[in-house]
């Protein structure tokens, strides 16, 4: 494999020194995929390999594995799905890893999308039995649009699934990304014995070695590895080995060998077969990330000028989350440092308001656990406590002003009113709505006709409403009632067009918390009719959608 270290200093824009060194040893990436491919399980397995946790799935180990370090919300534990992205920072060898586990469900794709604005690489999981699934395809497109290189993990190889090369063909055919496996599975899906490590491109597919894994009870601990030469492997594994070796040659004949430049350019993707549950291939994933994924590099500001890591401090906020700690009830704004050294206590400027911002309470997070952080570097994800002014997409900087492009909000397609079941809880209800609104859990829409007691919630997917009602109850002790509204789409309008629109049957106009005016329509025919009858009215599509 080529080493990515050449060019690190050039990327960092520095000629050496502490900052350049710190930047060079950081890797910041997201784990993405369709629901259930094993992102949270892999996240946990990676933490296990870095020895930051001692056992996977140990927290609720009763019926085997239950919740993972990254699924800490009540709803996540109860359902076994991720509803919110979770950041973990840990060291592995000389490296500092900033890892974000994302929710796979499309209803939460806005959260995943925000995370993808904050990372330098993505690990894309594919379920060995299911192959490419719709949400994986969409997320891959987002990664590609953002120029984020992708490492592919074909997961769940411990269970019956498809043939290894068939899965690769699907990636090539359906997303036009050339898969270049670094490791191939020895043993068919369901009979996972180990990995064949492929040699460099020059070796024309000749295997470099065989890594045999041994299962541990429930996959709770690191799977022991034994390393063998190809000859030993052939003796030991027989046909399972020869098949893998032949596949490696076939891939080389087709030109599917790793090429660092093409990978960084988003044209190829290194592939590793793994079982996150059994911890097979997990160390190889971690080491591939360290060896191949790019360290933090420049980021373009609003004017398109690159901000390089060696520039004075700057950071983007990509997520706001409250309710992580019932005892403190605080709200964390997560920023990804783009440039400069961060020191806790430094006073920076909030680009959106021009106001100074004190960073006295800065934390590194590990799931819901947190520790005070004193210094941090480009690539790091840092939580700022009770930073009420900060919202996703905001910029913090020191020295000369810089502002990064805003993160577009998704077009909502589901609408409902929400009210407290009993009037005595109104005050908490208002507080909770403001809180969830500022986190971007849902969008909150208001107009004078409906008033404040039952605001309209707008979501990309209906599961977001479930998160709202569940958190209302667990964090604010408010029972709520939800009524779905018969609207399906929203268009951005303005104060001039609003009164005329509001008079139309089946149309309602609202102001979103960020000040945008939205007109809601029952269906696209109603919208088209109004556009045709009154072409002068402002009705613009919202920027991004979940599809
Ligand atoms: N057999 C097997 N099961 C796995 C493996 N990895 C994950 N699972 C199981 O697959 C299910 C889903 O795993 P998660 O890690 O929660 O999946 P996820 O991608 O985080 O799901 P969302 O966050 O909801 O998108 C769980 O029951 C896991 O135990 C694996 O390698 N092999
Ligand atoms: Mg998950």
Distance 39 CA to ligand 1 centre (A): 6
Residue 544 has pLDDT above 60, yes or no: no
Query: Using 50, 70 and 90 to split pLDDT, how confident is the model at 483?
Result: very high
Residue 502 has pLDDT above 70, yes or no: yes
Q: Tokens in use for 134?
A: 């719709």
Per-residue model confidence (pLDDT) at position 66 = 54
Residue 2 has pLDDT above 60, yes or no: no
Query: Using 50, 70 and 90 to split pLDDT, how confident is the model at 328?
Result: low
The mean pLDDT of 268-288, rounded to a whole number, is 97
Ligand 1 pocket member 81 (CB < 6 A): yes
CA distances from residue 537 to 503, 512, 514, 541 in whole angstroms, order as listed? 13, 19, 21, 13
Residues annotated in the binding site, as ranges? 101-105
Q: Is residue 4 part of a domain?
A: no
Per-residue model confidence (pLDDT) at position 53 = 78
Same domain, 316 and 461: no
Distance 80 CA to ligand 2 centre (A): 8
Distance 136 CA to ligand 2 centre (A): 13
Residue 281 has pLDDT above 80, yes or no: yes
Per-residue model confidence (pLDDT) at position 57 = 63
Which atom of ligand 1 is least distant from the CA of 276? 31
Ligand 1 pocket member 281 (CB < 6 A): no
Per-residue model confidence (pLDDT) at position 67 = 67
The number of the ligand nearest the C-alpha atom of 126 reads 1
Which atom of ligand 1 is least distant from the CA of 33? 19
Per-residue model confidence (pLDDT) at position 80 = 80
What is the three-state SS of 146-168?
CCCCEEEEEECCCCCCCCHHHHH
Domain closes at, from 372, 397, 422:
397
Distance 302 CA to ligand 2 centre (A): 33
Identify the H or E element spanning 27: strand 26-32
Query: Using 50, 70 and 90 to split pLDDT, how confident is the model at 514?
Result: confident
Per-residue model confidence (pLDDT) at position 217 = 87
pLDDT per position as a tens digit, 25-62: 999 999 999 999 999 999 999 999 988 877 776 433 33
Q: Is residue 213 part of a domain?
A: yes
Per-residue model confidence (pLDDT) at position 484 = 96
Mean pLDDT of the chain: 90
Distance 535 CA to ligand 1 centre (A): 50
Per-residue model confidence (pLDDT) at position 63 = 39
Residue 11 has pLDDT above 80, yes or no: no
Q: Is residue 404 part of a domain?
A: no
**Distance of alpha carbon 453 from alpha carbon 419, whole angstroms:** 6
Per-residue model confidence (pLDDT) at position 542 = 84
Same domain, 50 and 77: yes
Ligand 1 pocket member 43 (CB < 6 A): no
Same domain, 340 and 442: no
Q: Is residue 546 part of a domain?
A: no
Per-residue model confidence (pLDDT) at position 409 = 80
Domain range for residue 355? 299-397
The mean pLDDT of 350-357, rounded to a whole number, is 95
Q: Is residue 130 part of a domain?
A: yes
**Which range has the worst mean pLDDT, 153-157, 201-205, 212-216, 397-401?**
201-205
Same domain, 308 and 278: no
Q: Which residue has the tokens 């900052």?
A: 19
Task: Give the residue, by CA position, lying nearest to ligand 1 atom 32.
Answer: 156
Per-residue model confidence (pLDDT) at position 369 = 83
pLDDT per position as a tens digit, 396-453: 999 999 999 998 888 899 999 999 998 888 899 999 999 899 888 999 999 998 888 8
Which atom of ligand 1 is least distant from the CA of 65? 29
The mean pLDDT of 149-165, rounded to a whole number, is 97
Ligand 1 pocket member 156 (CB < 6 A): yes
Ligand 1 pocket member 65 (CB < 6 A): yes
The mean pLDDT of 330-341, rounded to a whole number, is 94
Query: Using 50, 70 and 90 to split pLDDT, how confident is the model at 64?
Result: very low
Q: Which residue has the tokens 């045709």?
A: 532
More confident residue, 348 or 55: 348
Residue 546 has pLDDT above 50, yes or no: no
Same domain, 323 and 257: no
Domain closes at, from 370, 397, 424:
397
Q: Give the CATH number, domain containing residue 457.
A: 3.30.70.3280
Tell me how many domains the chain contains.
3
Identify the H or E element spanning 43: helix 39-49
Q: Are strands 414-420 and 347-350 parallel, antiparallel or unpaired?
A: unpaired
Query: Using 50, 70 and 90 to split pLDDT, how confident is the model at 71?
Result: confident
Distance 170 CA to ligand 1 centre (A): 21
Same domain, 172 and 288: yes
The mean pLDDT of 152-168, rounded to a whole number, is 97
Task: Give the residue, by CA position, lying nearest to ligand 1 atom 13.
Answer: 38
pLDDT per position as a tens digit, 101-125: 999 998 998 899 999 999 999 999 9
The number of the ligand nearest the C-alpha atom of 139 reads 1
Query: Using 50, 70 and 90 to split pLDDT, how confident is the model at 386?
Result: confident
Nearest Cα to 5, choosing from 211, 429, 292, 296?
292
Ligand 1 pocket member 85 (CB < 6 A): no
Q: By CB neighbour count within 10 A (0-12 exposed, 13-18 middle, 19+ buried), where does 136 fall?
A: buried
**Distance of alpha carbon 232 from alpha carbon 162, whole angstroms:** 27
Per-residue model confidence (pLDDT) at position 382 = 96
The number of the ligand nearest the C-alpha atom of 64 reads 1
Residue 7 has pLDDT above 60, yes or no: no
Residue among 40, 41, 102, 130 whose CB has most ligand 1 atoms within 8 A, to mutate: 41
Q: Give the CATH number, domain containing residue 371.
A: 2.40.30.10
Per-residue model confidence (pLDDT) at position 52 = 81
Same domain, 525 and 384: no
Ligand 1 pocket member 136 (CB < 6 A): no
Q: Is residue 2 part of a domain?
A: no
Phi, psi angles (nearest 5°) of residue 341: -90, 135
Ligand 1 pocket member 40 (CB < 6 A): yes
**Quick one: what percent of the chain has pLDDT higher than 70?**
93
Same domain, 266 and 121: yes
Q: Give the CATH number, domain containing residue 268.
A: 3.40.50.300
The mean pLDDT of 197-203, rounded to a whole number, is 92
Distance 78 CA to ligand 1 centre (A): 14
Contact 329, 315 (CB under 8 A): no
Query: Using 50, 70 and 90 to split pLDDT, how confident is the model at 462?
Result: very high
Distance 541 CA to ligand 2 centre (A): 31
Residues annotated in the binding site for GTP, as ranges? 101-105
Per-residue model confidence (pLDDT) at position 216 = 92
Q: Is residue 162 part of a domain?
A: yes
Per-residue model confidence (pLDDT) at position 220 = 87
Domain closes at, from 371, 397, 423:
397
**Distance of alpha carbon 500 from alpha carbon 346, whole angstroms:** 50
């Amino acid at each position: 494999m080529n080493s990515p270290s050449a060019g690190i200093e050039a990327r960092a824009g520095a000629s050496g020194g502490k900052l350049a060194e710190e930047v060079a040893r950081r890797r910041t990436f997201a784990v993405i995929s369709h629901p259930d491919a094993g992102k949270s399980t892999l996240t946990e397995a990676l933490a296990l390999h870095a020895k930051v946790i001692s056992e996977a799935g140990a927290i609720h180990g009763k019926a085997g594995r239950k919740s993972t370090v990254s699924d800490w919300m009540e709803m996540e534990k109860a359902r076994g799905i991720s509803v919110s992205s979770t950041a973990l920072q840990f060291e592995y060898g000389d490296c500092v890893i900033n890892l974000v586990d994302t929710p796979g469900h499309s209803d939460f794709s806005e959260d995943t999308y925000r995370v993808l604005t904050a990372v330098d690489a993505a690990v894309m999981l594919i379920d060995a039995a299911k192959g490419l699934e719709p949400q994986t395809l969409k997320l891959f497109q987002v990664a590609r649009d953002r120029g984020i290189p992708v490492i592919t993990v074909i997961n769940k190889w411990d269970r019956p699934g498809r043939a290894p090369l068939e899965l690769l063909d699907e990636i090539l055919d359906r997303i036009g990304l050339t898969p270049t496996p670094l490791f191939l599975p020895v043993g068919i899906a369901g009979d996972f014995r180990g990995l064949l490590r492929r040699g460099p491109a020059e070796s024309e597919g000749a295997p470099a070695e065989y890594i045999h894994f041994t299962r541990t009870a429930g996959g709770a601990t690191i799977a022991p590895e034994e390393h063998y030469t190809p000859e030993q492997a052939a003796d030991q594994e027989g046909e399972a080995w020869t098949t893998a070796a032949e596949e490696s040659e076939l891939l080389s004949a087709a030109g599917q060998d790793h090429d660092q430049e093409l990978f960084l350019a988003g044209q190829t993707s290194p592939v590793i077969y793994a079982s996150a549950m059994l911890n097979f291939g997990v160390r190889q994933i971690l080491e591939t990330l360290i060896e191949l994924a790019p360290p933090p590099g420049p980021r373009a500001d609003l004017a398109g000028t690159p901000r390089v890591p060696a520039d004075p401090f700057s950071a983007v906020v990509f997520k706001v989350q409250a309710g992580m700690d019932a005892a403190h009830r605080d709200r964390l704004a997560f920023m990804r440092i783009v440039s400069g050294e961060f020191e806790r206590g430094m006073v920076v400027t909030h680009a959106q308001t021009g106001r100074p911002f004190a960073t006295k309470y800065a934390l590194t997070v590990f799931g819901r656990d947190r520790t005070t952080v004193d210094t941090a570097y480009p690539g790091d994800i840092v939580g700022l406590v009770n930073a009420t002014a900060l919202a996703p997409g905001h910029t913090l900087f020191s020295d000369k002003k810089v502002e990064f492009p805003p993160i577009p909000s998704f077009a909502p397609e589901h609408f409902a009113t929400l009210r407290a079941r009993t009037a005595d809880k109104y005050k908490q209800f208002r507080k909770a709505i403001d809180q969830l609104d500022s986190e971007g859990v849902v969008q909150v829409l208001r107009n004078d006709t409906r008033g404040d007691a039952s605001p309209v919630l707008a979501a990309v997917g209906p599961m977001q409403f479930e998160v709202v009602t569940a958190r209302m109850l667990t964090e604010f002790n408010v029972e709520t009632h939800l009524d779905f509204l018969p609207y399906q789409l929203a268009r951005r309008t303005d104060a001039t067009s609003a009164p005329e629109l509001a008079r139309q049957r089946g149309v309602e106009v609202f102001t979103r918390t960020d000040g945008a005016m939205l007109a809601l329509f029952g269906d696209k025919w109603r919208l088209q009719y109004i556009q045709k009858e009154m072409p002068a009215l402002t009705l613009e599509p919202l920027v991004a959608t979940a599809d």
